[in-house]
Amino acid sequence: MNDSTAKDVSSLLPTGDRMRALVATGIGGTECLEVREMPLPIVVHSDVLVRVFASGINPIETKTRAGSGMAAVVDHPFVLGGEFAGVVVKAPFELAEFQPGDEVWGMLLTPHYQGAQAEYVSVPMMSLAHKPRSLDWTAAGAVPLAALTAWWAVVEAARVHSGQRMLIHAGAGGVGHFAVQLAKFYGAHVVTTASARNHEWLRELGADRVIDYRNERFEEAIDEPVDVVIDLIGNVHDNTGTRSLSVLRNGGLIINVPTGSWPTMHEEVAAAGRGLRASVLKLSPEGRILRTLAQLFDQGDLRVHVDAVFGLDEAAAAHERIEQGHTRGKLVFDLRP
Ligand SMILES: NC(=O)c1ccc[n+]([C@@H]2O[C@H](COP(=O)([O-])OP(=O)(O)OC[C@H]3O[C@@H](n4cnc5c(N)ncnc54)[C@H](OP(=O)(O)O)[C@@H]3O)[C@@H](O)[C@H]2O)c1
C-alpha cells in the first residue's frame, strides 16, 4: 500500500476519450508510421492508468512494423511501444499500491495491451513498479523491456553466479549493456563482443574482455571455454549462434534471445553432443523484477546509456536508426506534456 498523500494530477488527466499515439498503419517501411488520435486504452480489473512521459524503442517494434516480430497477430492501426515511465493518473482502487501522482515504470505485453508510445497506457499492477529516483524521465523510460530481458537471460535462465564464465554477444546494445552489468554485478567473468568504438565503454560497465567481432573470430580469441553464451544475434549475422557452440564447455548452455534468428539451434546443439543445452528466451513483464532493478539503479550498481531522444513525430528516423543495428544502449521517445 502506498501511504503518500494524494497528489493533484488534474493537469495530466485525459481531456476526452482520445489520445495522441504512434501507430503502425500496416506492414511496410517507415512510411507506415503515423502519429494519430487513437481511443484511450481500456482500463479493467487491476489496471492502472498512466500518463506516459517517456517510452524506449526496441527492435521488436521495427520488426513488427516490417512484417515479422508480432506482425502475424496485430490489428492495424497498431500502437507501438513496450516500455515506459510516467505518472499514475488513475488507481484501480483506493488501497492499491499505485496511486495518482506516483512516478512509475513498466512494461506492456503488447498486443494484449495497447502500446506505450502514446499519451496514456493501461497497465496491470503486476507489470508496474515505482521508478528509480536516480533516473530522469527519458532514462527511466528506456529501461524496462530491455533490462527485464537481460534479467531473464542472465539471472533467471543462466542462473548467474560467482566465477561463472559468460559470453554475451552484442554487449553494446539495449539488452546487452544491461546483461553485461548484471552478469558482472552477480560475480560472473564477462566476455562480450562489440565493435572497437564500444570497447572502452563496455570495460567501464564491467566487461572483463571485449572482442572486436569485426576484426577477430571470437571462437579463436576465447582460449578458455565459457559456461554460458547469451546470444543476442543468432545466425542472422555470420553464423554467430552456430559458431558459439565451439566456445562452450561440455554441458554448457546457450540462450538465444532474438526469437527466430536461429531456427535450427536445437538440432545443431543435439548434433554437437557434449551435453550442451540450449534455450530460446521469452520474457515476462514482472513488477517484482522492476522493483529489484530500480534498487540496483538507485544504489549505483546499474546504469542506462541513452544514445538519442526523439519526439513521436521523428519516429521514422528512430526506426531507421534501430534498423541499422548499431545503437549504443537505448533510443527513447520523449512524451512529456
Ligand atoms: N525474446 C525476447 O523476449 C527479446 C526481448 C528483447 C530483445 N530481443 C531481441 O534481442 C536482440 C537484441 O536486442 P537489443 O535491444 O539489444 O538490440 P539493439 O540495441 O538494436 O542491438 C544493437 C547492438 O548490436 C551490436 N551488434 C550488431 N551486430 C553485432 C554482431 N554481429 N556481433 C556483436 N554485436 C553486434 C551493436 O554493437 P556495435 O555497434 O558495436 O556493432 C549494437 O550496439 C534483438 O534481435 C531483439 O529483437 C528479444
> For residue 231, what is the domain's CATH number?
3.40.50.720
Q: How far apart are CA 103 and CA 141, in angstroms?
A: 11
What average pLDDT does the structure give for the chain? 97
Residues 229 and 197 in one domain: yes
Give the CA dihedral 136, 114, 39, 140, nearest 10 degrees.
Answer: 0
Q: How many domains does the chain have?
A: 2
What mean pLDDT comes out for the span 270-275?
Answer: 97
Domain that holds residue 164: 146-280
Q: How far apart are CA 108 and CA 284, in angstroms?
A: 10
Give the CA dihedral 328, 230, 333, 313, nearest 10 degrees.
Answer: 90
Pocket test for ligand 1, best of 281, 327, 331 (most atoms within 8 A of CB): 327
In a domain, 216, yes or no: yes
In a domain, 5, yes or no: no
In a domain, 123, yes or no: yes
In a domain, 293, yes or no: no
Residues 139 and 174 in one domain: no
Question: How far, CA to CA in Å, does 317 sit from each of 65, 69, 83, 258?
Answer: 14, 20, 19, 23
Check residue 5 and give its pLDDT.
61
Report the separation in Å between the CA atom of 174 and the middle of ligand 1, taken as the mean of its atom positions: 7
Cα–Cα–Cα angle for 244, 250, 252, rounded to 5 degrees: 55
pLDDT in tens, 168-177: 999 999 999 9
Residues 273 and 180 in one domain: yes
> How many CB atoms within 10 Å of residue 173?
26
Check residue 1 and give its pLDDT.
44
Report the separation in Å between the CA atom of 96 and the middle of ligand 1, taken as the mean of its atom positions: 37
Report the separation in Å between the CA atom of 263 and the middle of ligand 1, taken as the mean of its atom positions: 17
Q: How far apart are CA 327 and CA 307, in angstroms?
A: 7
Decide: 328 in ligand 1 pocket, CB within 6 A.
yes
Residues 179 and 268 in one domain: yes
Residues 74 and 200 in one domain: no
**Residue 210: which pLDDT band, with cuts at 50, 70 and 90?**
very high
Q: Which residue has the cell 560472473?
A: 188
Check residue 269 and give its pLDDT.
98
- The residue whose CA has the least distance to atom 18 of ligand 1 is 173
Decide: 277 in ligand 1 pocket, CB within 6 A.
no
Query: Is pLDDT of 332 > 80?
Result: yes
**For the purposes of burial, counting CB atoms within 10 Å of the CB of 72, is it exposed (0-12), middle (13-18) or buried (19 or more)?**
exposed
**Residue 4: which pLDDT band, with cuts at 50, 70 and 90?**
low
**pTM reported for the whole predicted model:** 0.97
